[in-house]
Amino acid sequence: MITLQQIARAADCSLATVSYALRDDTRIRPETRMLVQKVAARLGYRPNPRFSALMSHIRNSRPVAAGERIAFVWVHTSRAESAKDLFLQRVFLGAKARAEALGYGLEQFWTAERGMTDRRLSQVIKSRGIVGVLLSPVIHEAEVTLDLEWNCFAPAVIGSARWSPELHHAGHHHYLAMRLTLEKLAAAGCRRPMAIIEAGVNERARRAWEAAFSVFHPNRATAAELLRVGLPEDRRALARLIEVNRPDAIVVSDHATFEQFRAMNVDGSAHLPVFNLHWLPSSPEIGGVDQSYDMVAANAVDLVVSQLNSNETGAPAWPRMLLFPGRWVEPVLRRADVPKVPVVANAASSGPIPHPRKSRPVKRDQGASVAGRRP
Query: What is the reported pLDDT for 48?
Result: 65
Kindly state the average pLDDT of the residues 273-296. 90
Looking at residue 203, what is its pLDDT?
Answer: 86
Strand partners, 196: 228, 252
Q: Report which of residues 57 and 288 the model is more confident about.
A: 288
Residue 241 and residue 197 in one domain: yes
Residues 216 and 129 in one domain: no
Residues 86 and 225 in one domain: no
Q: In the structure, what pLDDT confidence band is assigned to residue 338 with cuts at 50, 70 and 90? A: very low
53 belongs to a structural domain: no
DSSP letter at 120 equals H
Q: For residue 364, is pLDDT > 50?
A: no
pLDDT, one tens digit per residue, over 60-113 is: 555 555 568 999 999 999 999 999 998 999 999 999 999 999 999 999 999 999
Both 159 and 37 in a single domain? no
The tens digit of pLDDT for each residue in 98-151 reads 999 999 999 999 999 999 999 999 999 999 999 999 999 987 777 889 999 999
Residues 265 and 161 in one domain: no
CATH number at residue 102: 3.40.50.2300
Same domain, 96 and 180: no
The C-alpha atoms of residue 264 and residue 272 are separated, in whole angstroms, by: 13
8 A C-beta contact, residue 193 and residue 204:
no
206-228 confidence digits (pLDDT tens)? 899 999 999 999 999 999 999 99
Return the beta strands (E) in the chain as ranges.
69-74, 105-110, 132-135, 143-145, 154-158, 162-164, 169-172, 193-197, 227-229, 249-252, 274-276, 287-290, 321-324, 327-329
- Of 8, 4, 16, 25, nearest to 311 by C-alpha is 25
Q: Rounded mean pLDDT of 306-312?
A: 89
- Give me the CATH number covering residue 32: 1.10.260.40
Between residues 185 and 266, which one has the greater pLDDT?
185
Going across the sheet that includes 169-172, the strands are 105-110, 69-74, 132-135, 154-158, 169-172, 321-324
Whether the model clears a pTM of 0.75, i.e. scores above it, the answer is no
In this prediction, residue 358 carries a pLDDT of: 42
Residue 198 lies in a domain: yes
Residue 57 domain flag: no
For residue 60, tell me if it sits in a domain.
no
Does 204 reside within a domain? yes
Q: Same domain for 135 and 276?
A: no
119/144 same-domain check = yes
Mean pLDDT is lowest, of 31-35, 213-217, 302-306, for 31-35
Please tell me the predicted confidence (pLDDT) of residue 100.
Answer: 93
* Within-domain flag for 75: yes
Whether residue 352 sits in one domain with residue 242: yes
Q: Which pLDDT does position 285 carry in this prediction?
A: 83
3-state secondary structure of 191: coil
Q: Mean of the pLDDT values across residues 244-254? A: 92
What is the span of the domain harbouring residue 33? 4-47
> Average pLDDT of the chain?
83
**Is the pLDDT score of 268 beyond 90?**
no
Whether 35 and 111 share a structural domain = no
Tell me: do 18 and 113 sit in the same domain. no
More confident residue, 15 or 350: 15
- Number of structural domains the chain divides into: 3
